[in-house]
A and B are shown apart, each in its own frame.
Chain A
Amino acid sequence: MKKHSTKIYAWLYCLPAFTLIGVIVLFPILYTGYISLTNMNLYHWQDYTFVGADNYIRALVKVDSGFLSALATTLLWTAVNMILDVAIAYLLAVGLNVEGLRARRIYKTLLVFPWAMPAYVSILVWRVGMFNTEFGLLNRFLTALGFDKMDFLSRNVPAFLSCMTLNLWMSLPYMIVMIDGGLQSIDRSMYESAILDGANPWQKNWYITIPSLKKIMAPIIIMTTFTMFKQFDILYLLTMQKGAVSGSTLQTIITYAHQNAFVSNNYGLSSAVSMVIFVFIIVFSLWTNRAARTERSEQ
C-alpha cells in the first residue's frame, strides 16, 4: 500500500515537468499532425476541412523531385562535418592539455568565443567579413596576391566548403569543451604506467585517451549529429536568403522542405512534410541509439 502511494507521489512531483513537456513539446507535434490531415492553406484559412492522407501522398510524391539529392547532401554534410568536428576538436583539446602549456585559460576562452556569439550574427559576419567579393577577407587576400576575385558561395562545391568551414567554426567550441572535460576525468596514473611501459604519445592517445573518452563522447556525438543533420540557418543565410541568393543550389532536407512547402503558405502540406521529416529523424535516432547500445554491449 505504501509502495503504491509512493508511486503516486512520485508521479505528482513530476506533474509540472510532464505538463511543461506536454505543452511545449508534445502539443505542437500532435497539432502539426492534426493540421497535416487538413487542407489548411491561404484559400482555406478558416474553413479548412479534413482531407485524410492527401497531404502525405503529395509530400511523398515530392521525394522524387530533388528530395533524394537533398537527402544525399544532408548525409554527406552530416558525415563530413562530424568527422572533422570530432577530429579537430580532439586535437585541439589534447593540445590544450599538454603539460607546460602557458596561457591555457586564454586559449580556452578564445576558443569558446564563436560558441558564445548568436548564430545569426556569426553567419552574417562571415558572409560579409569573409566571403563577400568586395569586403571579404578572403577576397582581399586573393586580390593582394594578384588573383581575380572569387564568389565563394555561387557554386555548389565552394559553397559547401564555405558553409562547412563556418559550421565547424561555430560547432568546434562545444566539442572542444566536452572533450576537454572528458580528458580531465581520465586517471593520470594510467599515463604514468604507460610511460613506465615505454609508450609514445601516439600509443598513449590510441590505447588510453580515446578508449577512455568513448563513453563520455557517445551521447555528445549523437546530439551533435542531430544538430548537423537538421542544419538550416548556415545554408539558408549564406546561400538562399531572400535578396541575397548566392547562385548555388545546395539543399539539405530542411532547406528543401522550407523551400518547397513553407513558402507556399499551405500549412496542411508543410505540416505533412514536417511529419515526414520528423519520422526520418526518429528513425535516425533509433538507429544511432541502437548502434550505441550494441557497441556498449560488445564492450
Chain B
Amino acid sequence: MKKKLYLKKISLLTACVMTLSILSGCGANPAPTENAAPANEAEAPADNSSEDAASSEVPASPEAVTITAWHDNDEAMMNALADEVNQALAGENITLKFEKKSDVTGQIRLYGTDAANGPDMYLFAHDSLGGFAEMGILEPVANLIDPQKEADLLPMTLEAATYKDVQYLMPVYYETLLFMYNKALWEGDIPSTTDELYDYMAAHTDANAGIYALVNQHSTSYNVAPFINGFGGYIIDKDANPGLDTQEMKDAVVYNSKFAALQADGDYNTVTTLFNEGKAAAIIGGPWLVSGIRDAGIDLGIKSLSDFTLPNGKAMAPYSGVQCIGVLKYAAESKKDAITRVLEVLAEPSVGIVLAQNFNCAPANSKAYEDPQVAENEMILAMEKTAQTAVPMPNIPEMGVMWGPAEGLLAAVNKSGEDVNDAASKYQQEALTAIADMQ
C-alpha cells in the first residue's frame, strides 16, 4: 500500500515535470545585449600580426565581434569570401562567418526581427529587396558606409541594390545568363542573330534521338527574359503593373516557343544533364553551371547573349542578378561599427578579384576588372559585356508573386500548346489577383 502511494507520488511528480518542460520550451530566448562578445569568442582570429592598411585606420575593437551572414551559395565560395574579409579585419577582432541556409528569403522573413536567432546579414540576389524593405527589417547600407567607399561599384549593381531611392544593399558580384557551348560539338561559327541560331538548331536537332543543338529552361521566366526584354516586353514594370498581356510580351513568348519546340523539357536538371553528357551542343545558363561542366570534361566556349541580335534589330537582354549583402536592422543597432568595417572590406576590389579568379563571379567593383587574371577570364568578360544590355531583375515586392504567373504563361504556350492570347489574358489576370492579394 505504501509502495503504491509512493509510485503514485512519483508519477504525479513526473507528470508535473513533463508539463513544465513542455511549457518552458515556449519561453523566449533573451535578445543579445548591445556589443556583447559572442559565445564563440575562441573563433576570433588570434593572429593580429597581419593588419593591413585598411584596418590600421580604425582603432582595434576591445571585444571580439562575430558577424553572422546567411546565404544559399556554394560554401567554398562563401568560405573564400569570409577568409578574405577576416584576413583584412584580423587586427580588429571582427570575424565574418557565413552559414548556409535553404530558402534564405523565407528564413529572413521568419527571423528578420529575431535578434536572438536571426543573422546579422545575409547574402542573396537583389530581387527580394523590396519585400524586406517594406517589412522594415533592413538597415539601409547608406546609413552604415561612406558613399565614397562605394565609388567604384558598377552603376548597374547600385541600381539593383536601391529601392525607392534608398540604397539598402551592398553589391558584391553579379550574374547574367550566357550562351555556353561545347567546342567539340558545335559546328562552325556561333551565329550572330537569333534567326540564324534557330536555323542551326533546326538543322542539328533530333529530339527522338535525344540530340539537341541548344537547350534552355524555355519555360522559366528568368531564362526567357533575354527574349522578353529584347522585344521590349516586361514581366512587371517599376509601378508594379504586370505586363504579361502586352503585345511585346506575346511576341517574345511566341518567338521563344519556336526555340522551345527544338529544345528538351525545360527542367533545370534535364537541360544541364543533356549538356554535361554531350547530348546538347549549347546551353543558355549562368556561371553556376561551370563547375559541373568542367567536371564533365567539356571544352567550354562562351559568348555573351548581347552578341545575338533579335529580329527587331535589338540585342538579347537577360536579367542580371546582383548578389548583395543586406544588413538586419537589429544587427545595425548592436554591431554597427563591426558591420561597417565588414561592408567597407566587401566594397574593395580585392574581394571581387578573389571571387572572379576562383569562382568566375563578375565583381561589382569595376576596379577588380583591372586585375590581369580577371581581365583574361572569358566568362567574366562575357558577363561584363552582357551587363551593358542586361536589365536588373525588378526588386519591387510584387515581383515575388510574378514568377508563378509568368512561368505559367510560358509553360501553357510551350508545353500545353495553348493560344498565346488566351494564356496571356489568363495569367495577366492571375498576376493582378496575386498582386491584389498582397495588400
Contacts and interface: CB of A to CB of B under 8 A. Distances in A.
Contact of B268 (A46, A135, A243, A259): A243
Contacts of B401: 263-264
A266 to B, nearest CB: 5
A280 B273 CA distance: 44
A9 B400 CA distance: 54
B433 A149 contact: no
Contacts of A46: 113, 135-136
B265 A133 contact: yes
B22 A19 contact: yes
A265 B264 contact: no
Contact of B274 (A42, A134, A148, A260): A134
A289 interface: no
A4 to B, nearest CB: 16
Contact of B438 (A128, A143, A242, A265): A265
B116 interface: no
A259 B403 CA distance: 12
Nearest to A247: B415
A155 B416 contact: yes
A281 B94 CA distance: 53
A209 B302 CA distance: 68
Contacts of B18: 16, 19
Interface in A139-155: 143, 148-149, 151, 154-155
Interface in A1-39: 9, 12-13, 15-16, 19-20, 23
Interface string A149-186: 10100110000000000000000000000000000000
B272 to A, nearest CB: 11
Given A246-B411, A260-B433, A265 B109 contact: yes
B217 interface: yes
Contact of A247 (B8, B269, B412): B412
Nearest to A263: B401
A41 interface: yes
Interface string B27-41: 000000000000000
A43 interface: yes
Nearest to B217: A243
B208 interface: yes
12 contacts: A9-B8, A43-B134, A128-B270, A132-B267, A134-B273, A154-B411, A155-B416, A245-B408, A247-B219, A261-B437, A264-B437, A265-B438
| Residue from A9, A134, A154, A259 whose CB has the most chain B CB atoms within 10 Å | A134
A244 interface: yes
